[in-house]
Structure 1
Amino acid sequence: MTNRTSLQKNLGIGLTLGVILLWLLGVIASGLVAQHEMNEVFDSALEETAQRILPLAVTDILNRETGTGNQRAPAMKDHDEYLTYLVRDDQGNLLLQSHDADPRVFGTLPGEGFSNTSTHRIYGASAVSDTIYIEVAEPLAHRREAALEAGLALLMPLIFLIPVSLLGVWWMVRLSLRKVVEFQQSIESRGAGDLSPVAGDRLPKEFEPIAVAVNRLLERLHRALEAERSFTANSAHELRTPLATALAKVQRLKTQVQSDQLKNNVAEIEEALRSLSMLSGKLLELAKAEGGGAISQSRHNLVPILAMIVADFEGQVPGRIILNLPESEVNSFLDPDAFAILVRNLIENALRHGSHKQPVEVSMVNDGTLRVCNGGNIVPPEQLALLRNRFARSKTDAAGSGLGLAIADAIATGAGLTLHLRSPATGRQDGFEAELNVAGAR
Structure 2
Amino acid sequence: MRGPASLQGRLSLWLTLGAVLLWAVAAAWTAVHLRHEMDEVFDSALEEAGQRLLPLAVRDIIGREEDDSPDQGVATLREHDEYFTYVVRDAEGQVLLRSHRADLGVFPPFSGIGFADTATHRVYSDAALRGTITISVAEPLAHRWDVAREALIGLALPLTLIVPASLFGVWAAVRAAMAPIRRFRAGIEARGGGDLSPIPAEGLPSEFQPNARAVNLLLDRLRRALEAERSFTANSAHELRTPVAGALAQVQRLIVEAPDEDTRSRARQVEAALQRLARLSEKLMQLARAEGGRLQAETPVDIAPILRILVADMGRDAGGRLEVSLPDAAVIAPIDPDAFAILARNLIENAMRHGAQDATVRVSLSPDGVLRVVNAGPVVPPEQLARVSRPFERGATDAQGSGLGLAIVEAIATGTDGRLELTSPATGRADGFEAKFATNRIETK
Q: Does 1:343 align with 2:328?
A: no
Q: Give the partner amino acid of 1:49.
A: A
SS at match of 2:436: strand
Please show how residues 242-281 of structure 1 align to structure 2 within 5 Å.
242-281=243-282
**Quick one: distance in 2 between partners of 1:383 and 1:201?**
46
SS at match of 2:331: coil
- Cα distance, 1:138 vs. partner? 0.8
Identity %: 51
**Quick one: distance in 2 between partners of 1:92 and 1:10?**
69
Give the corresponding residue for 2:30.
Answer: 30
Give the corresponding residue for 2:110.
Answer: 110
> Is the 8 Å Cα contact of residues 179 and 203 (structure 1) preserved in structure 2?
yes
Q: In angstroms, what is the RMSD of aligned CA positions?
A: 3.9
Cα deviation per residue 1:347-376 (whole Å; 9 max; x = unaligned)?
Answer: 112212333433311112233322111234
Give the corresponding residue for 1:85.
Answer: 86
Give the corresponding residue for 2:359.
Answer: 358
Q: Does 1:39 align with 2:61?
A: no
**Quick one: distance in 2 between partners of 1:194 and 1:386?**
25
- Cα distance, 1:64 vs. partner? 5.9
Q: Give the partner amino acid of 1:367.
A: D
Q: Give the partner amino acid of 1:348.
A: E
> Is the 8 Å Cα contact of residues 4 and 10 (structure 2) preserved in structure 1?
no
> Is the 8 Å Cα contact of residues 50 and 136 (structure 1) preserved in structure 2?
yes
Give the corresponding residue for 1:319.
Answer: 320
SS at match of 2:359: coil
**Quick one: distance in 2 between partners of 1:155 and 1:382?**
64
Give the corresponding residue for 1:145.
Answer: 146
> Is the 8 Å Cα contact of residues 330 and 439 (structure 1) preserved in structure 2?
no
**Quick one: distance in 2 between partners of 1:224 and 1:336?**
27
- Cα distance, 1:293 vs. partner? 4.4
Q: Give the partner amino acid of 2:111.
A: G
> Is the 8 Å Cα contact of residues 88 and 133 (structure 1) preserved in structure 2?
yes
SS at match of 1:205: coil
SS at match of 1:367: coil
Give the corresponding residue for 2:240.
Answer: 239
**Quick one: distance in 1 between partners of 2:165 and 2:387?**
63
- Cα distance, 1:121 vs. partner? 1.3
Q: State which drifts further: 232-241 or 215-224.
A: 215-224
SS at match of 1:135: strand
Give the corresponding residue for 2:209.
Answer: 208
**Quick one: distance in 1 between partners of 2:214 and 2:299?**
28
Label 1:292 to 1:93 Cα distance change in 2 as closer, same or farther (>3 A). Answer: farther
**Quick one: distance in 1 between partners of 2:117 and 2:182?**
63
Unaligned 5+ segments in structure 1 are none
SS at match of 2:208: helix
Label 1:304 to 1:22 Cα distance change in 2 as closer, same or farther (>3 A). Answer: farther
Q: What TM-score comes out, normalization by structure 1 length?
A: 0.80
Q: Does 1:329 align with 2:331?
A: yes
**Quick one: distance in 1 between partners of 2:393 and 2:138?**
103
Pick aligned residue for 1:393 from 379, 384, 395: 395
SS at match of 2:247: helix
Label 1:395 to 1:177 Cα distance change in 2 as closer, same or farther (>3 A). Answer: closer
Label 1:86 to 1:161 Cα distance change in 2 as closer, same or farther (>3 A). Answer: same
> Is the 8 Å Cα contact of residues 111 and 125 (structure 1) preserved in structure 2?
no
Give the corresponding residue for 1:121.
Answer: 122
Q: Give the partner amino acid of 2:50.
A: A
Label 1:205 to 1:403 Cα distance change in 2 as closer, same or farther (>3 A). Answer: closer
- Cα distance, 1:402 vs. partner? 4.4
Give the corresponding residue for 2:229.
Answer: 228
- Cα distance, 1:247 vs. partner? 1.4
Unaligned 5+ segments in structure 2 are none
Q: Give the partner amino acid of 1:105.
A: V
Label 1:295 to 1:204 Cα distance change in 2 as closer, same or farther (>3 A). Answer: farther
**Quick one: distance in 1 between partners of 2:332 and 2:351?**
23
Q: Give the partner amino acid of 2:246.
A: T
> Is the 8 Å Cα contact of residues 367 and 439 (structure 1) preserved in structure 2?
no
Label 1:133 to 1:165 Cα distance change in 2 as closer, same or farther (>3 A). Answer: same
Cα deviation per residue 1:388-424 (whole Å; 9 max; x = unaligned)?
Answer: 563533254x433444345545655676665433343
Label 1:158 to 1:216 Cα distance change in 2 as closer, same or farther (>3 A). Answer: same
**Quick one: distance in 2 between partners of 1:155 and 1:263?**
102
Give the corresponding residue for 1:49.
Answer: 49
> Is the 8 Å Cα contact of residues 300 and 333 (structure 2) preserved in structure 1?
yes
**Quick one: distance in 2 between partners of 1:59 and 1:162?**
58
> Is the 8 Å Cα contact of residues 197 and 219 (structure 1) preserved in structure 2?
yes
Label 1:105 to 1:192 Cα distance change in 2 as closer, same or farther (>3 A). Answer: farther
> Is the 8 Å Cα contact of residues 359 and 375 (structure 1) preserved in structure 2?
yes
- Cα distance, 1:85 vs. partner? 1.2
Q: What TM-score comes out, normalization by structure 2 length?
A: 0.80
- Cα distance, 1:62 vs. partner? 6.5
SS at match of 2:437: strand
Cα deviation per residue 1:32-52 (whole Å; 9 max; x = unaligned)?
Answer: 322211111111222333344
Q: Give the partner amino acid of 2:217.
A: R
Please show how residues 48-197 of structure 1 align to structure 2 within 5 Å.
48-54=48-54, 57=57, 66=66, 70-75=70-75, 77-78=77-78, 80=80, 81-89=82-90, 92-107=93-108, 109-112=109-112, 113-126=114-127, 132-152=133-153, 154=155, 169-188=170-189, 193-197=194-198
**Quick one: distance in 2 between partners of 1:183 and 1:423?**
40
Q: Give the partner amino acid of 1:331.
A: A
Label 1:232 to 1:145 Cα distance change in 2 as closer, same or farther (>3 A). Answer: same
